[in-house]
């Protein structure tokens, strides 16, 4: 029998300590050979400093997202890569809040994190990035990342398996060459599908690579209340309670936008 290795991947956490705790507990219950977090620990939710101890205590290996790059370098905005003024308006509120409440020691820590990680497992070269291998804030959406584009991207960056986040929506695409791309989704906010749960990705490496997207049910009401207590925009709490994105959604491609409520 072939030995298998199981690795769990957390996408953007967006200050959602409630979901992060639930996801860590879930991974521990079901057993795992490693956990990676792909950046964007902050943004959107409340109390950023609650996230980092949870990650370290659980032994999560991390990379920078655009949030960590911006916070550690003192940038004035999140560099999320939005192009619409309404997206940028809400992104700025999130970033200003997170930046003001992230302590200096954690900002310095963020600056020490790698932007990518590579390892080999079961004969496959795995590459972890936040956005895409060529840019930390490039959005890899399911409906706008075609096969020929991904084949070249993985070929250029010498990867058999690419795991990313940044878009907020989870998806996978198996390429004709045998390569695999997985967007792990995010723990930070629901997947714009009217459900309150969030998602992470579990990859099982053996003869093949199995991909499972794991739903995380957590105390979203507690998070929504904290968002309100912190005087963050009511639209953020609405997203947490309804599962529909209300902000930072102009960036969605046509197909992904069609599936949402706004």
Partner 1 sequence: MQPASAPAGAVSPKAIFPFVPSVSLDTLWFQVAGTLCNLKCTHCFISCSPTNNNHEMLTLAEVRERLREATALGVREYYFTGGEPFMNVEMMAIIEETLRQGPVSVLTNGLLLTPERCRKLKRLSDQSEYSLDIRISIDGYTPEVNDPIRGEGTFGKILAGIRNLADAGLNPCVTVTEACGEAANAQGRTKFLEWMRGIGLPRPRLKILSLFRIGAEEQRLRAYESWESLRGRHLQEDEAEKLQCSSCRMVTSKGVYVCPILIDEPRARMGETLEETLRPFELAYSACFTCHEYGVTCRT
Interface positions with partner 1 (CB under 8 A) = 83, 85, 134, 141-146, 148-149, 151-153, 250, 253-258, 260-262
| Smaller CB separation from partner 1, 142 or 228 | 142
The DSSP symbol for 43 reads S
| Smaller CB separation from partner 1, 50 or 257 | 257
| Smaller CB separation from partner 1, 28 or 89 | 89
Give CA–CA dist 189/260, Å, rounded. Answer: 14
Quote the least distance from Cβ 88 to partner 1, whole Å: 12
Report the candidate in 210, 205, 152 with the shortest Cα–Cα distance to residue 177: 152
Give CA–CA dist 131/66, Å, rounded. Answer: 8
Could you tell me how many helices (H) and strands (E) the chain has, helices first? Answer: 9, 10
Quote the least distance from Cβ 73 to partner 1, whole Å: 14
Quote the least distance from Cβ 189 to partner 1, whole Å: 18
Give CA–CA dist 210/43, Å, rounded. Answer: 31
Quote the least distance from Cβ 120 to partner 1, whole Å: 24
Structure tokens at 78: 């999140």
| Smaller CB separation from partner 1, 143 or 197 | 143
């Amino acid at each position: 029998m072939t030995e298998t290795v199981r690795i769990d991947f957390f996408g953007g956490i967006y200050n959602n300590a409630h979901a992060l705790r639930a996801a860590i507990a879930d991974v521990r219950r079901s057993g795992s050979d490693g956990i990676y977090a792909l950046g964007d620990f902050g943004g959107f939710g409340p109390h950023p400093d609650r996230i980092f101890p949870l990650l370290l205590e659980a032994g999560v290996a991390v990379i920078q997202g655009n949030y960590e790059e911006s916070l550690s370098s003192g940038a004035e905005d999140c560099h999320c890569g939005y192009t619409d003024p309404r997206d940028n308006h809400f992104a700025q509120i999130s970033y200003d809040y997170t930046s003001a409440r992230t302590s200096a020691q954690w900002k310095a820590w963020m600056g020490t994190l790698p932007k990518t990680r590579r390892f080999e497992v079961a004969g496959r070269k795995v590459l972890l990035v936040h956005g895409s291998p060529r840019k930390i804030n490039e959005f890899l959406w399911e409906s706008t990342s075609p096969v020929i584009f991904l084949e070249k991207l993985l070929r250029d960056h010498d990867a058999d398996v690419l795991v990313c986040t940044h878009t907020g929506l989870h998806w996978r695409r198996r390429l004709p060459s045998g390569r695999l791309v997985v967007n792990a989704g995010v723990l930070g906010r629901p997947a714009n599908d009217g459900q309150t749960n969030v998602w992470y990705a579990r990859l099982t490496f053996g003869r093949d690579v199995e991909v499972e997207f794991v739903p995380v049910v957590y105390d979203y009401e507690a998070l929504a209340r904290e968002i309100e207590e912190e005087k963050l925009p009511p639209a953020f709490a609405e997203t947490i309670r309804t599962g529909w994105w209300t902000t930072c959604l102009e960036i969605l491609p046509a197909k992904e936008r069609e599936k949402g409520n706004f």
